[in-house]
Amino acid sequence: MPFLGQLQLGKQGVTENFIKTLKTYFKNHKNMKISVLKNARRENIKEYSGEIIDKLGKNYTAKTIGFTINLKKWRKSQQL
C-alpha cells in the first residue's frame, strides 16, 4: 500500500466531488498531501483544511505547511 498520495486543490475550492475523491484516495493511502494552486485563494488555506476535516470526520487530522495541507487518517478518532 502506498504511503503518501498527492492531490491538488484548484479554484473551485472544497466541493463534494473533491471530498469523494479524497475518500477514495484514503482507501489506498494513509497520508495525503494537498497542494493549493495559485487559482485558489491561498490566504484561506487554514479555512480549507478546517472545512476538509469537518467533511471527512473525526478520524482525520490536518497540518498546513506553506501552500500544502497534509492529511492523516487515524484508526481511532482523535480528541482535540
For residue 67, give its domain range: 4-73
Query: The CATH number of the domain where 25 resides is what?
Result: 3.30.110.60
* 43 Cβ contact partners less than 8 Å away, ≥ 6 residues apart: none
- In-domain check, residue 9: yes
- In-domain check, residue 48: yes
pLDDT (mean) for 56-73: 92
The β-bridge relationship of strands 31-36 and 4-9 is parallel
pLDDT (mean) for 2-15: 88
- In-domain check, residue 78: no
Confidence of residue 34 (pLDDT cuts 50, 70, 90): very high
- In-domain check, residue 47: yes
Asked whether residue 80 carries a pLDDT value surpassing 70, the answer given is no
- In-domain check, residue 79: no
Instruction: Specify the pTM.
Output: 0.85
Q: Are 59 and 18 in contact (CB under 8 A)?
A: no
Q: How many domains does the chain have?
A: 1
- In-domain check, residue 20: yes
Asked whether residue 51 carries a pLDDT value surpassing 60, the answer given is yes
Three-state SS annotation for 12-53: CCCCHHHHHHHHHHCCCCCEEEEEECCCCCHHHHHHHHHHHH
